[in-house]
Structure 1
Amino acid sequence: MNILEVIQLKYLEFSLKEQKIAAYILENSQYIENMNITIFAKNCNVSTATVTRFCQKINCQSFANLKIMISSINLSSSSITTKNDPLYKVHSFYKDIINTTKNIVNIDDLKILYNKIKNAKRIYIYGLGSSGLTGTEFMLRLIRMGFHCQAITDSHLMIINSSILNQNDLVIALSCSGETLDVINAINLAKNNKCFVASITSFPTSTLALNSDFFIITPNSKLLTKNSFINSQFSTIYIIDVLTTIFLEEEEMRKKMDTTINTILNNQKK
């Protein structure tokens, strides 16, 4: 992982002032190379001593060393991000998110989740807001491959559902922050009923990750851009695409997928 990816993963471990520094770096990495520590600290509204402590916390000897590590990252889209055309800006953002996700996520972890899905009697996907929309997309993919799956996007229904789960079921919880209280309460109840809980979140030290039996970490796009409506779920969708690809390598899954496609097409002709 490069230094920007390390900063994202450690974000929740930082103090509030250090989080200011982390957020500023992630949003403005292309401009930091030409700053001295005094100007950088002023832009982050912290002291130079706080900047130095932050650097040490991410295993950089100094602010100068941090700048070297940032400048050494091969951002192939760096020339694109300077353009004002929204097409280039969004393309650059998505490209960076995909590259970061690929670097952070381990294929072996995805295969663990793949096996949990295959062996579960029933699968329930929990998510609120944008995560709920992603959960619904995930559900549709799994249903079309023959799985018994339901996306639950209402907090009350999550609690109701969690209360009747058992060891044969699987819950997959989605939350970028990992601090969505309703989702956390629901997965804790599911675990009390011996249900296996997997989560997809952005921070390994978040409450959701720490309370899950297994978790997959994805980059948090909100740390990279706070002033736009660019899809905050893009990295999670990428993970779902990869999982779907793994499933469709099996002939049985492909046949079920083809059956649903043909059924839809035949129904539209009537």
Structure 2
Amino acid sequence: MQEKILARLRSSQPSLSPALLRISEYVLNDPAKVVNQTITEVADGSGSSEASVLRFCRDIKFSSFQRFKLALGIELSTHQTIRHASPSGDVIDDTLSTAITALKQTKDLLNHAALELAAKQIIRAKSIDLYGFGGSANVARYAHYLFVRFGLVSRVLDDPHLAVMSAVNLGPKQVALAISESGSSKDTINSLMAAKAAGAFTIAITCHIRSPIAANADAVLGASSTDTPITRGAFSRVAGQYL
């Protein structure tokens, strides 16, 4: 049987360097928090660098930070499922409760000044480009649907190449809105960076307000992510649509 990740971390601590030991202790202190963080947030939280976090992942036999998080999430979810197995009625209630929690936490996270600024720019914009890839494309399509209903000009760009091609042709009177749960999607970051360089007003909707995509946005709207990598996306997309 493969050694469990948390057990592996504990057993390997005596041989770790001071930098990697700090990361190990940070993960062990709150593994459920780590599975929903970016590599930047783990580095900041543990007082180390992104390079050290990647070195830590490789030291425990994972080729990337994402693979480490996925494996950790599976371990935590499996343990949680065994501990909290419940009748189907309870599962339905739990699912509803999780969705409600995501919405309430998003409300608490909301930066009203950023929301007001984003709304003003959207209303005044000549056009709005919406970037969302994978599961985030559904949030982009829903936003497009609402904008069209309000008489605004918008378009969904869910192809990375077309998104960048469109972004470089934007200008100061246009808005680019990017949706990324992790805030680390390279395609989404590249699209928003291109739009910002072209002079457009940039908006990011993400669950990680200190992520790379947030760094390239003039207004950042934070959404809550209460799920694990196994169910990732469902409730954060509900929160994204709420925004």
Q: TM-score interval w.r.t. the shorter chain?
A: 0.5 to 0.7
Q: Report the equivalent of 1:233.
A: 237
Quick one: which amino acid aligns to residue 130 of structure 2?
A: I
Q: Are the counterparts in 1 of residues 207 and 236 from structure 2 also a CA contact under 8 Å?
A: no
Q: Are the counterparts in 1 of residues 132 and 178 from structure 2 also a CA contact under 8 Å?
A: yes
- Whether 2:113 is the aligned partner of 1:105: answer no
Shift of 1:17: 5.3
Quick one: which amino acid aligns to residue 228 of structure 2?
A: T
Cα distance in 2 for residues equivalent to 1:24 and 1:120: 40
Cα distance in 1 for residues equivalent to 2:159 and 2:24: 31
Q: Report the equivalent of 1:181.
A: 186
Q: Are the counterparts in 2 of residues 83 and 89 from structure 1 also a CA contact under 8 Å?
A: no
Which of 134, 140, 146 lines up with 2:145 in the alignment? 140
Cα distance in 2 for residues equivalent to 1:112 and 1:198: 10
SS in 2 for 1:173: strand
Q: Report the equivalent of 1:220.
A: 225
Q: Are the counterparts in 2 of residues 204 and 217 from structure 1 also a CA contact under 8 Å?
A: yes
Q: How does 1:141-156 map to 2 (within 5 A)?
A: 141-156=146-161
SS in 1 for 2:208: coil
- Taking structure 1 as reference, are residues 109 and 214 closer, same or farther at Cα in structure 2, changes over 3 Å only? closer
Q: Are the counterparts in 1 of residues 182 and 211 from structure 2 also a CA contact under 8 Å?
A: yes
Cα distance in 2 for residues equivalent to 1:115 and 1:182: 26
- Whether 2:150 is the aligned partner of 1:131: answer no
Q: Based on CA coordinates, which of the two structures has the bigger radius of gyration? A: 1
SS in 2 for 1:156: helix
Quick one: which amino acid aligns to residue 124 of structure 2?
A: N
- Taking structure 1 as reference, are residues 18 and 112 closer, same or farther at Cα in structure 2, changes over 3 Å only? same
Shift of 1:193: 1.1
Cα distance in 1 for residues equivalent to 2:186 and 2:142: 22
Scaled by the length of structure 2, the TM-score of the pair is 0.64
Q: Which one has more relative contact order, counting CA pairs under 8 Å at least 6 apart?
A: 2
Q: Report the equivalent of 1:167.
A: 172
SS in 2 for 1:103: helix
Shift of 1:184: 0.9
Which of 208, 211, 214 lines up with 1:209 in the alignment? 214
Aligned length: 173
Q: Are the counterparts in 1 of residues 170 and 195 from structure 2 also a CA contact under 8 Å?
A: yes
- Taking structure 1 as reference, are residues 171 and 17 closer, same or farther at Cα in structure 2, changes over 3 Å only? farther
Unaligned 5+ segments in structure 2 are 1-21, 36-44, 47-83
- Identical columns (%): 23
Q: Report the equivalent of 1:18.
A: 26
SS in 2 for 1:233: helix
Q: Are the counterparts in 1 of residues 98 and 235 from structure 2 also a CA contact under 8 Å?
A: no
- Taking structure 1 as reference, are residues 82 and 88 closer, same or farther at Cα in structure 2, changes over 3 Å only? farther
Q: CA RMSD in A?
A: 2.5
Quick one: which amino acid aligns to residue 242 of structure 2?
A: Y
Unaligned 5+ segments in structure 1 are 1-13, 28-52, 55-80, 240-270
Cα distance in 1 for residues equivalent to 2:242 and 2:137: 16
Which of 183, 190, 194 lines up with 2:195 in the alignment? 190
